[in-house]
Amino acid sequence: MMTPSVPQLPLEAYRRLLDIARDLAATLDLESLLHRIVTAAAELSDAEAASILLYDPQRKILHFQTATNLSGALQETMQVPLEGSLAGLALRRRRPVRRQHAHTDPDHYGHLDKLTHIATESLIAVPLIANGEPIGVLEAVNKRSGAFSDADEEILTVLGAQAAVAIQNARLFLQADLIAELVHEVRTPLGAILAATQLLRFPQISEAQRRQAIDAIEREARYLNELTTTFLDLAALESGRARFHRERFAVAPLVDEVLQLFAAEIEAAGLTVETAIPHDLPPLEADRGKIKQVLINLVSNAIKYNRPGGKIRVAAYRENGHLVVTVSDTGVGIAPEHLKHLFEKFYRVPGSAQRATGSGLGLYICKRIVEAHHGHIRVHSKPGEGTTFIVDLPLTP
Ligand SMILES: Nc1ncnc2c1ncn2[C@@H]1O[C@H](COP(=O)(O)OP(=O)(O)OP(=O)(O)O)[C@@H](O)[C@H]1O
Ligand SMILES: [Mg+2]
């Protein structure tokens, strides 16, 4: 006796696999593609949940990239070890692993079941192979009725191959894109450094010219140094390699720490700084280092685009279960037509290059970080009067 759904399954599977294959070449939106792959994996194999885990060779762990049943916040913190997990076993063996009673298997990593509140019964895990190297695992857990079959393994293997191609494509594309941009950004400061060193070779230059050349070399080298860090951060964020480590911390000392970093610059520009942070402000639960990075860019912008003798104000307050941090300046301001582009990658308001060095990546990175914390970043500005950036973060994730 056949159940009514059986004859339709291969056709449906075939159609879904073709659909995904068609999009594979066309889409660059890795996240939505991977999400469709795990959804198809769960539905076609009749599993309770499916997920894609990516391998981090440095830390010898697999971390969740996409899953049908996990919230973003939970997913970010979940990982399984390479040794001592069935997903790890599939990756190490480079072969699918299928279990009917995973929880009794010595290789099963039981810790996750507690976090997800799913008791893993049956499991099937296939390795994702790109260029002959295992890069991750596609797994489906808890077949709704019966046991995972050869057909399920076949379907997951095909979906896994598609996921591997998608991940590989996205990584290559990102690399090429970022390398092109980095080369472009690096040219101008390198040119300035070369010009200054050539000038220093002339014995007859004045002391003032000599000092200027050395200052230029130092300034541009510092900028190149910052630029490399920015690009590494960006590459990590965009490839999904950036991991967020949540901790509880007070905002006021963090703001002081950031302002301290800029103390010399603030003094040199004759700027005054004011902070308004209440003593009873609740602590934030977030990645402290990444939130610091957001504040560093906002304060650096408030300095770079201020007027001599201007003001900077950093305030924080609580509002409906959110923590709001604002950074305001009395600078040049931003005209309305530029506001909507401000958070785009590499966007700089025309004329900014004459005012200050920058790559136009800072606000884009801020937005990525704030949104990874389920928060928002906004801006208000009046040309000629000043600008305020408003970061809004949920107090509990
Ligand atoms: N406080 C501000 N006042 C006026 N304009 C601003 C302010 N902050 C940002 N901008 C404008 O927005 C652009 C983008 O800012 P963003 O921080 O992304 O880049 P950047 O400061 O130019 O370079 P980077 O941060 O990568 O060193 C700036 O180039 C500038 O034109
Ligand atoms: Mg900036």
Kindly tell me the sign of the dihedral angle through the C-alpha atoms of 232, 237, 241, 245: positive
Ligand 1 within 6 A of CB of 294: no
Question: What is the count of structural domains for the chain?
Answer: 2
Residue with tokens 């190297």: 133
Cα of 359 vs centre of ligand 2, distance in Å, is 8
Residue 53, pLDDT score:
95
Residue 165 lies in domain: 8-171
Cα of 363 vs centre of ligand 1, distance in Å, is 7
Is 199 domain-assigned?
no
Contact 60, 83 (CB under 8 A): yes
pLDDT tens digit string along 339-348? 999 999 889 9
Is 157 domain-assigned?
yes
Please give the distance of CA 164 from its chain centroid, rounded to a whole number: 20
One domain, residues 167 and 255: no
Ligand 1 within 6 A of CB of 303: no
One domain, residues 134 and 42: yes
One domain, residues 397 and 248: yes
Which two tokens mark 157? 């293997």
Greatest pairwise CA separation for the chain in angstroms: 99
Which of 171, 191, 226 is the last residue in one of the domains? 171
Q: Could you identify the atom of ligand 1 that is nearest to the CA of residue 361?
A: 26
Percent of the chain beyond pLDDT 70?
95
Is 366 domain-assigned?
yes
For residue 28, name the pLDDT band (cuts at 50, 70, 90).
low
Among residues 373, 397, 346, which one has the least CA distance to residue 234? Answer: 346
One domain, residues 126 and 263: no
Interval 78-85 mean pLDDT = 91
Interval 89-108 mean pLDDT = 93
Residue that wins the pLDDT comparison between 327 and 21:
327
Which residue's alpha carbon is at the smallest distance from atom 13 of ligand 1? 348
What is the C-alpha to C-alpha distance for residues 315 and 117, in angstroms, rounded to an integer?
A: 40
Ligand 1 within 6 A of CB of 185: no
For residue 7, name the pLDDT band (cuts at 50, 70, 90).
very low
Is 291 domain-assigned?
yes
Is 123 domain-assigned?
yes
Which residue's alpha carbon is at the smallest distance from atom 8 of ligand 1? 301
One domain, residues 24 and 145: yes
Ligand 1 within 6 A of CB of 397: no
Residue 70, pLDDT score:
79
One domain, residues 149 and 258: no
Residue that wins the pLDDT comparison between 58 and 61:
61
The answer for 142, left when phi > 0, alpha when psi is -120 to 50, beta otherwise, is left
Ligand 1 within 6 A of CB of 363: yes
Cα of 73 vs centre of ligand 1, distance in Å, is 29
Q: What angle do CA 299, 301, 304 make, to 5 degrees?
A: 115
Question: Quick check: 185 pLDDT over 90?
Answer: no
Which two tokens mark 114? 């507690």
Residue 3, pLDDT score:
46
pLDDT tens digit string along 293-306? 999 999 999 999 99
Ligand 1 within 6 A of CB of 342: yes
The CATH number given to whatever domain includes residue 142 is 3.30.450.40
Ligand 1 within 6 A of CB of 312: no
One domain, residues 269 and 393: yes
One domain, residues 160 and 271: no
Which two tokens mark 42? 């769960």
Which residue's alpha carbon is at the smallest distance from atom 27 of ligand 1? 358
One domain, residues 258 and 379: yes
- Beta strand ranges found along 116-242 (DSSP E): 123-130, 133-143
pLDDT tens digit string along 112-166? 887 777 789 999 999 999 988 899 999 999 999 999 999 999 999 999 998 998 8
Percent of the chain beyond pLDDT 90?
64
One domain, residues 157 and 269: no
DSSP 212: H
Write the CB contacts of 390 (distance below 8 Å, at least 6 apart in sequence).
324, 325, 326, 377, 378, 379, 380
Which of 171, 197, 229 is the last residue in one of the domains? 171
DSSP 239: T
pLDDT, averaged across the chain:
89
Is 267 domain-assigned?
yes
Which two tokens mark 264? 């010399």
Contact 45, 148 (CB under 8 A): yes
Q: Could you identify the atom of ligand 1 that is nearest to the CA of residue 226?
A: 27
Query: Considering every ligand atom, which ligand is closest to the CA of 328?
Result: 1
Contact 388, 380 (CB under 8 A): yes
Ligand 1 within 6 A of CB of 349: yes
Query: Considering every ligand atom, which ligand is closest to the CA of 342?
Result: 1
Which runs of consecutive H residues, i.e. helices, occur in 49-149?
Answer: 72-77, 86-93, 111-116
Is 179 domain-assigned?
no
Is 336 domain-assigned?
yes
The CATH number given to whatever domain includes residue 322 is 3.30.565.10
Rg (CA), the chain: 26
Question: Quick check: 22 pLDDT over 50?
Answer: yes
Query: Considering every ligand atom, which ligand is closest to the CA of 360?
Result: 1
Residue 73, pLDDT score:
67
One domain, residues 31 and 157: yes
Question: Quick check: 110 pLDDT over 90?
Answer: no
Decide: helix, strand or coil at residue 312.
strand
Which of 147, 171, 195 is the last residue in one of the domains? 171
Q: Could you identify the atom of ligand 1 that is nearest to the CA of residue 348?
A: 29
Least confident of 160-174, 314-328, 362-376: 160-174
Cα of 369 vs centre of ligand 1, distance in Å, is 16
One domain, residues 248 and 116: no
